[in-house]
Structure 1
Amino acid sequence: MFGSLAEKLFGQSHYARYALIVSLCQAFAVSILEGFVLAVHTKAVSQISEIGDIVKNDTELSQDFTDIYAQGRSMSIYHVLFIVSQLFQLVICVDALYHQNTIQIIALNLFIFASFAFSAIQVYQSTSLIVDNGTVPSVQQIIIQQNSTLPKDTVPYEIAIIILMVISSVSFTYLTYKLYQEFGWSIYKKIGADMAMRDRYKMYQIFIMLLKFNVFFFLGFSVQFLALVVILEATSEILQHIILSAITSTVMIIVGFWGIQTERKILMYLFMIGCCVVEGYFVWKIVDVSENRDNKYRGTKIFVTFFLSVCLILGVVTFTISFLCLRNFDKGLKYHLSRSKSITSQTSGQDAFIENNRAFSLETVNRHTQRWSID
């Protein structure tokens, strides 16, 4: 297994190897730097929490303290999610290179740019968490008196992350272009020259790619919601969230993978029903966030709304693509995919070509030619 994986990853073109190196370096370096950001930020939130005893008898200052502390507490979760996102992009990169999936490579490039955008936004989050508004007295002034560098302690690490993300984004854009050209031959080897079949294969690739990104964003939303809202507030919503979001979305994604691989329509129908249920839950939560932003969602409104919106859009797109894939069932794609797997196992990584719906190992053909050659 590991030998086959190494052969697929390191035995390809140098562009594939460069892409893997860029992804690995990004995941390793950014995760370490973001770990420092998380450690400094956690210490800052701990220091902010000590101000609560000072201002607890002043209603106005106590309200300001609650807002600042809630925002700082919520940011810790997003630092963790950013680290997880770097490990996720590495897994997606390895998977895309192994399967020579051009659609997934392009999606990964967009995901890296989104990570770069977040790395820039978190600088603003850090510097705007505690700002002296000129009002005397104010919670901001009390915090700054305790530690004047508190809002800016994480900035050097965050600037380093931005620089790394710029380098990674630009490098991966170039590598994506090169890999898109090279992996076109891989698609031809699997599917052949039939344009209709290649379009069906592209829909299949898009659907598989969307399911993988749904895993990250669906579970990412579930983690932050449980950590920031349900568990900390100890409400009765925990059972509803686990059933309607975590369990339903996980089962739905598994059914989607199973259905598209086996081309079983009943599984795709169940997947589409699950999409509708989860989408309804997301709409309900967006309404709940907008109506309760000043109490249980204090400090998390923007982040939760963002993840909910992304999950909602992903769900709509995934539902649409699943319908298009369902229309392509029983039209020969399953045969081509199973045949390509059989060819791969038989040729053990050798190149093959397809002629008149038959596959041949190029190495076998070359050896056969050599037997009949005249020295």
Structure 2
Amino acid sequence: MPTALSTKRLMRELGQMSKSSHGSHVRLVNCEKMDLWSVAILGAEGTLYAGEEFRLQFRFPADYPLESPEVVFVGKRVPVHPHVYSNGHICLSILYQQWSPALTVEAVCLSILSMLSSCTHKMVLGQRKLSAQLRKSTVPTFYIVAALLLAAAFIIAESYILYLTKDGYDVAKRELWQIADVQKAVSTSITTYMVYNVLFITAQAYIVFLCAEALANQDAIQVIVVVLFYFICTVYTTTRYISFYVWPSLAARLFTRDSNMHLMQITVVAAYAVALVALVVLSYRLKKDAGWGVFKRLGADVVLHRAYKWHQCLAILLKMDIYFIGSYLVQMSALVLKADDTETWLQITVFIPFSIMVIFCAFYALHGERRRLMACVAACFFLSIGYFVFKIVRVCSPDIMHKPGDPYEDSRPYFMITIVVCLVLVLASGAVSVVCIRNFDCGLKEAIFYDKLKRRHLRMYLAEPAAAHAESVDDEVPLLVLNSHRASQATARGRFPLE
């Protein structure tokens, strides 16, 4: 809904357009909704588009004119132009990074007309595909609702499996066997199964967090990573089913005749597969909206887009590191390590604090563009590869596999998946860290800072009483912030802004 600031500005522009001398080329068609206008523009004489009429749709945000409107060509007639996409999106700097609150609807229309008039040839297109135009899409709503429903369903299912596991163990302990060594072995195995149930439940909570953050930041890469996360969960649940019913251990045989457990595990595997397909479809649709949001915030600067892509890649890799390295530490601490083992104390005093420190420093160096610190973080990631390779060799060592006292007896399949995922993640994190170091000082830090500063200023501005606002909505503060951003960005690239 338009704010008082936005409404006042739009009403003034309506009056100006009715008195404009450009009425033959720019004509307001519909403004029944104050935040959604339809404007017709007529191609200028002597140009490739002479006599052709096109329809523009202006969607005004609540903070207009501090934030740029969303402008697209609509209808069946979309101009064939190198800077106009087939779905109506327009590549024009003043609609994104170069937007100024001093610009008006009429000024934007004239700039678009000027862009069309300067074209010397129409871009030849193949088969034109009518993509979804830039309107408020229902896909983000479906996406977050689907993520919440799936998380709720899987949490309930895993909680029920956890209950069946504990109940089956209690029944077996009470009625079926009384041999101490067997009790100890099965008790350890049951603990393993219950720990992984808890990890499955926490994974769903983490996935919901990733989905919500991906929508809030319009992060296309994180949307894709959520799909990858579901794929890993599908692999885990399939491995669990195999360890229960294909090659069952002594403890897993307790559930061979439990029809409820069998049905639940098959259902969870099938549900993960169906959820994976559904999320792939939704993510593909959502990726277009997310990509558009990034394009609007950063403009058409190719260097910034490339740097931002790698910035987001490293950020999401670090978020994946948090969960999977954390789950690795939980598995090691709860299932493998013993109080009289030297490795236990090394894990507690060295590896856990080291992991927390590296991930924290990685986030700090990434957002602050600190080259030396990021170089140290990348080195730590590459050194961690040796540790995880050692753990793979240790877990698969013939000296302990299937021997009495094997600490990985029932957790080996899950544990190996976790170690391999952690190994891939630290390798990717190290490589992407090196790329990000090369992209530092290209202006991305200033662009992100400006976006946050602009949003913070808007919240402060709208929180003030209406009487405190100046008569003119084109106040100096947003312009000063904008100019400060442009100056800092130009300086970061080795250029100096004009006086």
Task: Give unpaired runs (5+ residues) of structure 2.
Answer: 1-61, 63-134, 463-480, 484-499
Query: Max radius of gyration: which structure?
Result: 2
Residue 100 (structure 1) aligns with: 218
8 A Cα contact 1:249 1:278, kept in partner: no
Residue 228 (structure 2) aligns with: 110
Residue 332 (structure 1) aligns with: 443
* Partner secondary structure for residue 299 of structure 1: coil
Letter in structure 1 aligned against 2:257: T
CA shift for structure 1 position 312: 0.9
Residue 434 (structure 2) aligns with: 323
CA shift for structure 1 position 12: 6.3
CA shift for structure 1 position 149: 2.5
Q: Deviations over 1:291-347 (max 9, x none)?
A: 233322222222222211111111001000000001111111111111122233344
Change in Cα spacing, 1:148 to 1:332, as seen in structure 2 (3 Å) is closer
Q: Does 1:254 align with 2:360?
A: yes
Change in Cα spacing, 1:148 to 1:214, as seen in structure 2 (3 Å) is closer
Which one has the bigger helix percentage? 1
- Residues of 1 paired with 2:239 and 2:289: CA distance? 35
Residue 300 (structure 2) aligns with: 193
* Partner secondary structure for residue 297 of structure 1: coil
CA shift for structure 1 position 264: 0.9
Alignment of 1:321-360 (within 5 A): 321-347=432-458
Change in Cα spacing, 1:108 to 1:79, as seen in structure 2 (3 Å) is same
Q: Does 1:214 align with 2:309?
A: no
Q: Does 1:299 align with 2:410?
A: yes
CA shift for structure 1 position 250: 1.2
Alignment of 1:174-185 (within 5 A): 174-185=281-292
Q: Deviations over 1:219-276 (max 9, x none)?
A: 0000011100114x75232211123432111111110000000001122123123323
CA shift for structure 1 position 69: 5.6
Alignment of 1:33-182 (within 5 A): 33-48=157-172, 53-54=178-179, 70-128=188-246, 130=248, 149-150=257-258, 152-182=259-289
- Residues of 2 paired with 1:183 and 1:347: CA distance? 22
Change in Cα spacing, 1:313 to 1:166, as seen in structure 2 (3 Å) is closer
Letter in structure 1 aligned against 2:207: Q
- Residues of 2 paired with 1:219 and 1:330: CA distance? 32
8 A Cα contact 1:210 1:314, kept in partner: yes
Identity %: 24
8 A Cα contact 1:245 1:281, kept in partner: no
- Residues of 2 paired with 1:243 and 1:316: CA distance? 24
Q: Does 1:205 align with 2:329?
A: no
* Partner secondary structure for residue 149 of structure 1: coil
Residue 353 (structure 1) aligns with: none
CA shift for structure 1 position 191: 1.6
- Residues of 1 paired with 2:239 and 2:390: CA distance? 27
- Residues of 1 paired with 2:368 and 2:136: CA distance? 29
8 A Cα contact 2:239 2:413, kept in partner: no
Q: Deviations over 1:139-161 (max 9, x none)?
A: 79xx77xx8734x4412222332
Change in Cα spacing, 1:191 to 1:124, as seen in structure 2 (3 Å) is same
**Which of the residues 151, 156, 161 maps onto 1:27?**
151
> Superposition RMSD on alpha carbons, in Å?
3.1
8 A Cα contact 1:33 1:157, kept in partner: yes
8 A Cα contact 1:230 1:237, kept in partner: yes
Change in Cα spacing, 1:309 to 1:166, as seen in structure 2 (3 Å) is closer
8 A Cα contact 1:67 1:299, kept in partner: no
Task: Give unpaired runs (5+ residues) of structure 1.
Answer: 1-6, 57-61, 132-138, 351-356, 360-375
Aligned length: 325
- Residues of 2 paired with 1:55 and 1:267: CA distance? 53
Q: Does 1:15 align with 2:139?
A: yes
Q: Does 1:279 align with 2:385?
A: yes
8 A Cα contact 1:41 1:76, kept in partner: yes
- Residues of 2 paired with 1:185 and 1:343: CA distance? 19
- Residues of 2 paired with 1:148 and 1:23: CA distance? 32
Letter in structure 1 aligned against 2:331: Q
Please report the TM-score for the alignment, with normalisation by the length of structure 1. Answer: 0.77
Letter in structure 1 aligned against 2:291: G
